[in-house]
Amino acid sequence: MKQKISLRKMKRLEFEDIEPMMLNSEPWKSLRFKKHDIRRIVRNSNTKILFGAYQGKKLVGFASHSTGFLGGVYLNLLVVEPQMRGQGLGQLLMKHSLNKLLKKNKNYYLCVSHFNKPAIRFYQALQFEEIGRIKNFFLRGKHEILMRKTLGPIRA
């Protein structure tokens, strides 16, 4: 990363910031995401826990979370600007999210598309384990893998 990256909590997402990040990259291309899908994500973003990665004033990545999912927190989206991938930004966002959110939650969940092998390896390196599969979730033949990182049972 050429310029320093700063991480901060966000109140909401803006369509203009995330639309080019998502529509021109995987896995959203294979899952046939369109502009109306991105608008729905933006509309619902004010109810999420959001962390943004900024290079100067430009948003170059973000993580969106929901709480209350199976006694924990759920990663709705982890998005990194395509030209910023492979530079550690996704790992920076994930470690920040895990650090902040596992303080109040013992379980952190996410889904990853079965065809997205680099993402599966990425989450496994962060000690996420597969706990199930959701077949034909977005499209026929496109499955999601439910993964979890846990600090232990919900109750002591």
- Looking at residue 2, its pLDDT comes to 60
Instruction: Quote the pLDDT of residue 35.
Output: 95
Other CB atoms within 10 Å distance of the CB of residue 35: 11
What is the DSSP track for 93-120? HHHHHHHHHTTT-SEEEEEEETT-HHHH
- Write down the pLDDT at residue 1: 52
List average pLDDT for each run of 10 residues in the chain, which is 156 residues long. 84 92 90 93 91 95 94 95 91 97 95 94 97 92 95 84
Supply 107's token pair: 């379980």
Instruction: Identify each DSSP E strand in the chain by its residue range.
Output: 5-10, 49-55, 58-69, 72-80, 107-113, 129-139, 142-150
Instruction: Note the pTM of the prediction, 2 decimals.
Output: 0.91
The domain segmentation of the chain, as residue ranges, is: 5-150
CATH architecture assigned to 5-150: 3-Layer(aba) Sandwich (3.40)
